[in-house]
Homo-oligomer: A and B are copies of this chain.
Amino acid sequence: MYRIFLNSPLFRGLTMEELDELFQSVNHQIKQFRSGELLAMAGEDVDKAFLLMQGRLQGEMVDFSGNSLKIEELDPPQMVAAAFLYGPQNKFPVFLSAKSDGRILVIQKKEFTGMLSMEPRVMVNYINIVSGKAQFLSGKITFLSLKTIREKIAYFLLQRMKSGMNNTINIDQTQTNLADLFGVTRPSLTRTILEMEKQGILTWSRESILINNMKKLNTILGR
């Protein structure tokens, strides 16, 4: 029954027995939902913890200016809106709807708090989750702060190179995808890539990118 949570971010480290025991002492309910159902509206209070057990959810952030309403998908055994259960403005940041049938485990905030103080491992896990969100967003902001397309390319490539020792980067993204990720138009991205090629900074082929002049690439980011 709760097996799905066995190695979930929130319960990692607990054995199956401990998990069962935990759920015996924590009030909760399991709710079924149908594909297409609207589970929560943006702005609605978050006073329950939602743990997805089965099915797929989708959060839509109506990101003004019409063009890009961001969609985030959620699969089991993820927790929904983890960073919005506590904190000064605990309201849903997105419209949450179901992409398929499924079921979700619901725990009242008070009970959830009790569970955290009862089981330190879960507490640490939860703090790790929320911290992770903050860190992710922090990185996102760094990226969003980059102003030119050149900078975004440079940052993206340098990130990808951290691990690999040689100066070839494998991506399985099309330029179209990348443009989308960067929030720029595809022709603009292509234009900039070609410029950088002309300047001898890199060679961009379909599957991989070869950095020819690391120094110049770094200079773009002012380092």
Q: Which residues of A contact B (CB under 8 A)?
A: 63-68, 83-90, 93, 113, 116-117, 120, 123-124, 126-128, 130-135, 137-138, 140-142, 144-147, 151, 155, 183, 221-223
Contact = CB atoms under 8 A, between A and B. Distances in A.
User: Which of A86, A123, A132 counts the most chain B CB atoms within 10 A?
Assistant: A86
Contact of A151 (B65, B68, B89, B132): B65
Contacts of A151: 64-65
A123 B124 contact: no
Number of copies: 2
A120 B113 contact: yes
Nearest to A88: B132
B123 A117 contact: yes
- Please classify the interface of chain A as helix (H, G, I), strand (E, B), loop, or mixed, using the class held by over half of its residues: helix
Contact of A141 (B65, B85, B144): B144
A120 B113 CA distance: 8
B127 A126 contact: yes
A221 B66 CA distance: 8
A64 B155 contact: yes
B93 A138 contact: yes
Nearest to A145: B63
Contacts of A67: 222
Most chain-B CB neighbours within 10 Å: which of A65, A113, A134, A140? A134
A108 to B, nearest CB: 14
A220 to B, nearest CB: 8
